[in-house]
């Protein structure tokens, strides 16, 4: 692909952003990323904005659906609860596909084509951000889990917490303020009790 074509892709991605057509923005920036050339700061930001909005919209949907599900469960409406669960599962599957898609793009194209330390840190932060989002969502709903599932869930959360600590430490080695960006998400600090030895 010629540089002119790449510039056209970037222009179309900016247009998609202005029109709030984030799905298209992601698809266009994926094409740029798959050229296996280091992205510019502007291109990295376009890719990030696109994915964050696509993921963010589904996370918002998931929260609303989960809230309605809890409401109907408290009323004992089993039929509606089953319908809602189907919708929630669909959103969860979409989120999984999108996140796996982004991680595969980072692993197969973006990191191998990176030359500057800033690029490496940027992509590691994105992977860290996705893990942090999953961690935050799980913590928010941990109180609703009972019995054996609770024990399994807490074990998984411990592993994720430990990985987040390792990842943020790795990022901090390359950029002093990297950990703060990974440890926080949506303006919220990870609950301190999760980082104590006796937690979970």
Residue listed under structure tokens 């998931």: 62
Question: Out of 10-19, 39-48, 143-152, which region has the weakest mean confidence (pLDDT)?
Answer: 143-152
Find out whether 160 and 134 touch, Cβ atoms under 8 Å.
yes
CA angle 151, 153, 159 (to 5 degrees): 105
Mean local confidence (pLDDT), 125-131: 80
Mean local confidence (pLDDT), 103-124: 91
157-178 pLDDT, tens digit each: 888 888 778 777 765 565 554 3
- At 169 the pLDDT is 72
Mean local confidence (pLDDT), 89-117: 92
Residue 141 pLDDT > 50: yes
Mean local confidence (pLDDT), 135-154: 77
H or E element, residue 184:
strand 184-185
- At 173 the pLDDT is 60
- % of the chain residues with pLDDT over 70: 83
Its pTM surpasses 0.85: no
C-alpha distances in Å from residue 176, one per residue of 32, 46, 121, 123, 169: 29, 24, 11, 16, 10
DSSP state of 112: T
* Cβ-proximal residues to 72 (8 Å cutoff; 6+ apart), any chain: 80, 81, 84
- At 170 the pLDDT is 63
């Amino acid at each position: 692909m010629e540089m002119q074509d790449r510039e056209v892709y970037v222009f179309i991605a900016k247009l998609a952003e202005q029109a709030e057509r984030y799905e298209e923005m992601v698809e266009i920036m994926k094409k740029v990323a798959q050229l296996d050339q280091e992205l510019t700061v502007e291109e990295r930001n376009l890719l990030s904005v696109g994915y964050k909005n696509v993921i963010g919209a589904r996370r918002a949907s998931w929260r609303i659906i989960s809230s309605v599900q809890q409401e109907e469960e408290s009323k004992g409406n089993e039929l509606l609860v089953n319908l809602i669960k189907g919708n929630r599962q669909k959103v969860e599957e979409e989120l999984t596909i999108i996140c796996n898609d982004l991680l595969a793009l980072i692993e197969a194209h973006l990191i191998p084509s990176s030359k500057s330390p800033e690029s490496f840190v940027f992509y590691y932060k994105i992977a860290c951000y996705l893990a942090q989002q999953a961690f935050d969502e799980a913590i928010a709903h941990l109180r609703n889990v009972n019995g054996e599932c609770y024990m399994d869930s807490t074990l998984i959360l411990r592993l994720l917490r430990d990985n987040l600590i390792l990842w943020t430490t790795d990022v901090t080695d390359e950029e002093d303020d990297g950990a703060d960006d990974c440890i926080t998400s949506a303006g919220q600090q990870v609950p301190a009790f999760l980082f104590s030895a006796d937690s979970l």
